[in-house]
Amino acid sequence: MSTFYMPTRVYEEADAVRAHAAELASFGKKALIVTGRRSAKANGAYADITAALDEQATPYVLFDEVEENPSTETVMRARDFGLREGADFVIGVGGGSPLDAAKAVALMMRHPDKDISYLYHPDDGAQSGGEGALPIAAVPTTCGTGSEVTAVSVLTDPSRGIKQSIPHKLFPALALIDGKYLRFAPASVLANTAFDALTHLIESELNSKCTPLSHMCVDAGLKTWALSLPVLRGEKEPDDADYLHMMRASMMGGMAIAHTGTTLPHGLSYPLTVKLGVPHGKATAFFTAGYLAYAPASARDYLLRTAGFTSLGDFRAVYRAACGPIDAPPELLAAVIEAAVDETAANPRKMQLAAYPVDRELLRRIAFDRAPD
């Protein structure tokens, strides 16, 4: 049986925020805008949101302290601020970090009596649905996570030194997608986030939970992603069409993993991000070639060809040129990869999502991108 559930209303168009100001303001009486310190202001997204809310005479307050790989502590500070200010809905704006944080903030504002432990340990043992959080609107400004159309919030727990999804399911009610915000993204951010979107598409297809309906999103997403591959190859400067394609591919990747979840490259990536500070998309794509290398040839060839690559070697070359090497001493990098293997191998759910049987030794070969014998 295949099912498809994607409750987020999506508008994808130029000036989407201003065009849908009334719907954006309809979720409550006062908005808490959750974002990072700089990018949403630099790319114009924050100005568009505040103008839209002003137009609707809807007050708002700003929490702009979300860091990359947002922490549970930041979520709680934003929750307390939002409660003090009397906000009753949340707007997340930015890349995956602000969007994931905004979801968790909306959850904790709906549960003001809960402490930080509720993020990872719901006291009833159940997963919260959308009714367990304040209404959430999402305005993405990068082209990687697809968080605007997923129920996932990935947070860093400093007390345990881990980066992990929380168990609550938190779909935004509204996503407003506008490619113009990518005009201000550095080339490194475009590359890292574009490869993040690609890993979502690949991991959703090479997944034990893949269905014809999730495949629908993957196939459309890969074909869209391929349209901007010349930018990542360094063959052209990005234009508005490229920005739109990058945003759309990211959204489709988000829709795909909303149904399947991610698998081994994502599981392996988190220690690289937490311990070495490697950007998330760059870290996940670092492990993708190894995961593809051991996949059934027909699936590997389909994924590479549809994304615009001529071979697995071509994928490796474009990734290295676009995202660059990981800046860490080889001995330290190897040690962190070994730790990633241990951590992922100890996660049965993540291992079971692989599209082919993987034991610890094969996982290690995947992680170090060692070719099949």
Domain annotation covers residue 373: no
Tell me what pLDDT residue 125 has.
46
- 142 vs 129: which has the higher pLDDT: 142
314 occurs within a structural domain: yes
- The Cα 77–Cα 326 span in angstroms is 32
Within this chain, do residues 175 and 203 fall inside the same structural domain, yes or no?
A: no
363 and 222 in a single domain? The answer is yes
Residue that terminates a domain, selected from 158, 180, 202? 180
Residue 2 lies in a domain: no
Does residue 337 lie in a domain region? yes
pTM of the model: 0.94
* Average pLDDT estimate for 264-279: 95
Q: 152 with 165: CB under 8 angstroms?
A: yes
Task: Tell me whether residue 297 is in a domain.
Answer: yes
Q: Where are the alpha helices (DSSP H) in 150-263?
A: 187-205, 212-226, 229-232, 240-260
- 137 part of a folded domain: yes
Same domain flag for 167 and 216: no
Q: How confident is the model at residue 131 (pLDDT cuts 50, 70, 90)?
A: low
| 281 backbone φψ class: left, alpha, beta (φ>0; ψ -120 to 50) | alpha
Bridge partners (DSSP) listed for residue 12: 177
Q: Which of 161, 180, 199 is the last residue of a domain?
A: 180
Same domain? For 71 and 155 the reply is: yes
Tell whether 241 and 142 lie within a shared domain: no
Asked whether residue 22 falls in the same domain as residue 147, the answer is yes
CATH of the domain at 132: 3.40.50.1970
Position with higher pLDDT, 372 vs 174? 174
| Average pLDDT along the chain | 95
- Is residue 65 situated within a structural domain? yes
**Which stretch of 100-109, 129-138, 197-206 has the lowest confidence by average pLDDT?**
129-138
Of the candidates 292, 290, 286, the one whose C-alpha atom is nearest the C-alpha of residue 304 is 292
At 135-194, the pLDDT tens digits run 999 999 999 999 999 999 999 998 888 888 999 999 999 999 999 999 999 999 999 999
Percent of the chain predicted with pLDDT > 90: 93
| pLDDT per residue as tens digits for the range 298-352 | 999 999 999 999 999 999 999 999 999 999 999 999 999 999 999 999 999 999 9
Q: Domain boundary at 155, 180, 205, which?
A: 180
Q: Is the same domain home to 270 and 319? A: yes
Same domain, 119 and 220: no
Q: What average pLDDT does this structure show over 89-93?
A: 98
CA dihedral sign, ordered 14, 6, 67, 335: negative
Q: Where are the beta strands (DSSP E) in the chain?
A: 9-12, 31-34, 60-63, 89-94, 136-140, 154-157, 162-165, 174-177
Chain CA centroid to CA 371, Å? 28
pLDDT digits (tens, 9 = 90+) for 343-366: 999 999 999 999 999 999 999 999
Report how many domains make up the chain: 2
For residue 101, pLDDT over 80 is answered with yes
Question: Is it the case that residue 9 has pLDDT exceeding 50?
Answer: yes
For residue 136, is it within any domain?
Answer: yes
Stretch 37-55: mean pLDDT: 96
Count of other CB atoms within 10 angstroms of residue 355? 21
Same domain, 17 and 160: yes
Residue 195: pLDDT over 80: yes
Q: Which residues contact 342 (CB under 8 A, 6 or more apart)?
A: none
Q: 126 falls in which pLDDT band (50, 70, 90)?
A: very low
DSSP one-letter code for 20: T
Least confident of 84-88, 124-128, 147-151, 234-238: 124-128
Count Cα atoms within 13 angstroms, Cβ side, for 249: 31
Q: Across residues 53-82, what is the average pLDDT?
A: 97
Give the domain extent around 339: 187-367
Q: Using DSSP bridges, classify how beta strands 89-94 and 136-140 pair: parallel, antiparallel or unpaired.
A: parallel
50 and 153 both lie in a single domain: yes
Residue range 110-123, pLDDT digits in tens: 999 999 999 998 86
Sheet of 60-63: strand order equals: 9-12, 174-177, 136-140, 89-94, 31-34, 60-63
Is residue 107 located within the same domain as residue 125? yes
CATH value at residue 267: 1.20.1090.10
Burial bucket for residue 184 (CB in 10 Å: 0-12, 13-18, 19+): middle
**What are 155's strand-pairing partners?**
164
Quick one: average pLDDT of 29-52?
Answer: 96
Is 170 found in the same domain as 211?
A: no
pLDDT at 121: 86
